[in-house]
């Protein structure tokens, strides 16, 4: 139990936030600049790495969709994408309606790494240019992924599948373990330039709002699924509570798949439908994550007085729904997949990205819980039309890989 607690990313994020606040009151400038220097190096590495991450994760994911269950693959993917985008639109509407009241006239200094803005400067910098822009990575991933599906290039798929494993090893063994130190440095710098108090107060409100809205999106999904499938939505939602609370504890959609599957079967969903929909949606359905990322991003836009048009926000949502396919069940995976888009479409700088990561991971488990619970609702909808028409997808026949940082691939037995 002690080792499991110490390996919790959430615990270290909380520790980093608290220490960053506390240390900003007494750290000498030279020591704080050590961490600011690290943050600069890590930010530059992320700028280099994110386009590679996007290509390596999205290309095989798009190609892999071609090996599914015919038209039901398209139907399930369409429902999952629509759910994710609608969640983003609801978050946008909520932010538009509530932020003028909740956030008032609070402002956010996003360029805290600028000495002239009151922040600290690093001792030195190392340029790390990206191999290609973020949008080029996304377009290249789609072109190659779709082409691989058309020509059935098994060799290319294996190469990209191995590349995905290599990139995920970098994420889980290098990027994620260093996130707490990165967040510590950001909050230390924020605290030492006197901009932290209003930022913390404002984001505390947004954090609470995001948790409430993830619950709202779950309720809406089950009301819709219950109407389509002819089931009591509250009974169906009650049967999914084991999956919800498992996801709260693991912060991983992939790690929760066996429990999500077993909970879905309690709603009388066909075993093959559940075995097909649940693993697929664990990768492509992220309505809870979309809700949180959108609320946080728009909070930064609002407090930073950033000139972002409605067309930019809509484009951001539509692309984010696609790019979060690159969040394969790892804690914090969705926000890492969204980093490049936040920079390219909304113009976020390194400090804004760091704040997004900190805010997201603090309540990451609530978004993950909304994602996996929503998977059960999608399974109900697909089951209404596909029961008996999808064969060979019972969970015990599929190799499910737990993408959490401390796990290795394993075949999961039928938990039902």
At residue 87, the pLDDT reads 93
> Does the pLDDT of residue 359 top 80, yes or no?
no
Q: How confident is the model at residue 20 (pLDDT cuts 50, 70, 90)?
A: confident
List the one residue out of 245, 243, 270 whose CA is nearest residue 375.
243
Mean pLDDT of 252-269: 81
Most distant CA atoms of the chain, gap in Å = 68
The pLDDT of residue 3 is: 58
Q: Which two tokens stand for residue 93?
A: 């509407």
Highest mean pLDDT among 19-28, 173-182, 349-358, 401-410: 19-28
Q: How far is CA 267 from the centre of its chain?
A: 27
pLDDT of res. 408: 33
The average pLDDT across 340-344 equals: 80
Cα separation of 192 and 20, whole Å? 10
Any residues with CB less than 8 A from the CB of 207 and at least 6 apart, and which?
359, 362, 363
Q: Which two tokens stand for residue 309?
A: 């048009």
Mean pLDDT, all residues of the chain: 77
| Whole-number Å distance between alpha carbons of 151 and 141 | 15
| Res. 1: pLDDT tops 60 | no
What integer pLDDT is reported at residue 414 of this predicted model? 35
Q: What percent of the chain has pLDDT over 70?
A: 78
Q: What region, left, alpha or beta, does residue 411 occupy, with left being phi > 0 and alpha being psi -120 to 50 degrees?
A: beta
Which domains, ranges and CATH numbers included, belong to the chain?
1-403 (1.10.3860)
Phi, psi torsion values for 287, nearest 5 degrees: -65, -40
pLDDT in tens, 137-160: 767 877 887 788 778 777 888 888
Confidence of residue 370 (pLDDT cuts 50, 70, 90): very high
Give me the residue label for tokens 């390996």.
7
* Whole-number Å distance between alpha carbons of 374 and 378: 6
How many Cβ atoms are within 10 Å of 310's Cβ, its own excluded? 9
The most confident of 73-77, 120-124, 194-198, 315-319, by mean pLDDT: 315-319
From residue 61, give the alpha-carbon distance in Å to each of 148, 212, 310, 403.
Answer: 11, 31, 30, 14
């Amino acid at each position: 139990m002690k080792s499991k607690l110490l390996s919790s990313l959430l615990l270290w994020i909380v520790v980093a936030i608290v220490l960053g606040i506390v240390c900003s009151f007494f750290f000498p400038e030279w020591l704080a600049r050590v961490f600011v220097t690290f943050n600069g190096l890590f930010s530059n590495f992320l700028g280099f790495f994110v386009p590679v991450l996007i290509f390596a994760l999205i290309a095989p994911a798009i190609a892999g969709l071609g090996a599914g269950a015919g038209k039901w693959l398209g139907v399930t993917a369409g429902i999952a994408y629509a759910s994710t985008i609608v969640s983003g639109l609801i978050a946008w509407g909520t932010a538009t309606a509530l932020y003028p009241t909740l956030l008032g006239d609070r402002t956010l200094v996003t360029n805290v790494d600028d000495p002239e803005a009151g922040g600290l400067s690093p001792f030195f910098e190392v340029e790390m240019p990206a191999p290609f822009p973020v949008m080029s990575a996304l377009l290249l991933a789609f072109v190659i992924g779709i082409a691989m599906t058309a020509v059935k290039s098994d060799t290319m798929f294996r190469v990209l599948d191995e590349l995905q494993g290599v990139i995920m090893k970098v994420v889980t063994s290098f990027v994620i373990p260093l996130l707490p130190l990165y967040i510590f440095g950001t909050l230390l710098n924020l605290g030492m330039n006197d901009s932290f108090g209003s930022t913390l107060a404002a984001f505390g409100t947004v954090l609470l709002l995001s948790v409430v809205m993830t619950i709202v999106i779950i309720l809406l999904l089950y009301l819709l699924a219950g109407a389509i499938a002819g089931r009591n939505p509250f009974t169906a939602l009650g049967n999914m509570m084991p999956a919800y609370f498992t996801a709260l504890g693991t912060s991983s959609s992939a790690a929760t798949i066996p429990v999500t599957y077993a909970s879905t079967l309690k709603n009388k969903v066909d075993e093959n439908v559940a075995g097909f929909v649940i693993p697929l949606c664990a990768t492509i359905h992220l309505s809870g994550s979309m809700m949180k990322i959108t609320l946080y991003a728009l909070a930064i836009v609002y407090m930073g007085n950033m000139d972002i048009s409605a067309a930019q926000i809509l484009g951001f949502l539509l692309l984010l729904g696609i790019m979060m396919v690159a969040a394969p069940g790892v804690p914090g995976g969705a926000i890492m997949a969204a980093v490049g888009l936040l920079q390219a479409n909304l113009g976020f700088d390194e400090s804004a990205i760091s704040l997004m990561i900190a805010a997201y991971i603090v309540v990451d488990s609530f978004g993950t819980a909304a994602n996996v619970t929503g998977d059960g609702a999608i399974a109900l909808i697909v089951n209404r039309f596909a029961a008996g028409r999808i064969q060979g997808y019972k969970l015990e026949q599929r190799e499910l890989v737990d993408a959490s940082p401390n796990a290795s691939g394993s075949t999961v037995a039928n938990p039902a």
